[in-house]
Structure 1
């Protein structure tokens, strides 16, 4: 299975980001990808008031993504914001196209490093997987990468691949943490892990001004089930394509049976 990771810098305007999704999805389809994965907050970057922009899953922005997926003939996974019942929004991944229709609400909220995502975002609670061409794929978002149990839940549900859209916060040591955690989660669950971050705004000439909000550092990567990095990008925007060998998951699990060898503690 060929996948494409679109490392973009999102605009505050959802309509502009939809244009970017279309351009990148058509490029991904031209490269033979079955899935085009976009970052967390593709709809509108963090630092933008999210409440006025949030739309339901049957709203115009999501429908725009669906139309693009149909035009390109592939599955699109992209981060958006949907209204939550309590007045906050939900940080949602929309997965749509080629017979796939699903949504994952980010479970673990980024209340760390001086940023409180939970002030404006309500948490999800459900583990979500999708199936593309018979391959089970788990969905996760950004800060979820610090919680290995979610990726093992993907594996328990039959996933050979986990997708991790992100808008990673910058700061001392944050790139090192990103790279370490992405590789560790692939190893924890012995799955392929495709992590697509927003590009570093500082890498874009005339890009958005610096902000304390998490707006991405780039360095998207595809990691094999043995924890080795197979493909990666730098800080700047780019489109990465990679071929996922699903059979490799079984081979690695036969050699390193961390899932089968688990022993749960008892109170």
Structure 2
């Protein structure tokens, strides 16, 4: 059985999209997601995106990381899906309902309200998420926030001096984070924030939309930057706005790369 797919990316964070809003297909699970995401033997992507019908929104979006784990939210994928859909929509995700609207070569996404309670991250025990009493090597004074998925954010003076590829997986799998965590290391610069992200289940990524949202929220709470703020990632920039109370707005580019088909039995 040949299955159509759409390859897209947002700032280099790339996706294989299976659009099943009109026609159902075979069940997708961790093994299929991992096989399709493999860059040597599969199509290759950071995340597999599955679009399905929804009873509570215009459609539903499921997100699988390259290691096969299913996650709650993905900001870059939300923009990509907005571009694919081509008109305003409300999308059901495991992290809650989001609103998207295509805008020129990209999209704007209403990511919903950030959550700061320790059990919303979640953490293994009660802590002040605005200033966690935790440190890993030289990374200290972090904050935690859930923006549809869980993030820890560190601000440093020299972003390039941090070996995120080494320390990222250590923090991601620390027992203090029962559901693992996305790791953001940021530096405030004159034109906004520089950011690198170790993404839970995917590793170092060229861009992470929820990471940009989480980092901007923490920076605004700490009065390090005003809103809106431009967050500069290795793959490009995102504009994040948050008024300190309501929903986060994220704006940035997303494009379709190509379309194709694959034989389901090769990956199932």
Q: Which has the higher helix share?
A: 1
Higher relative contact order (CA 8 A, sep 6+): 2
Q: Which has the higher strand share?
A: 2
Q: TM-score, normalised by structure 1?
A: 0.31
Q: TM-score, normalised by structure 2?
A: 0.31
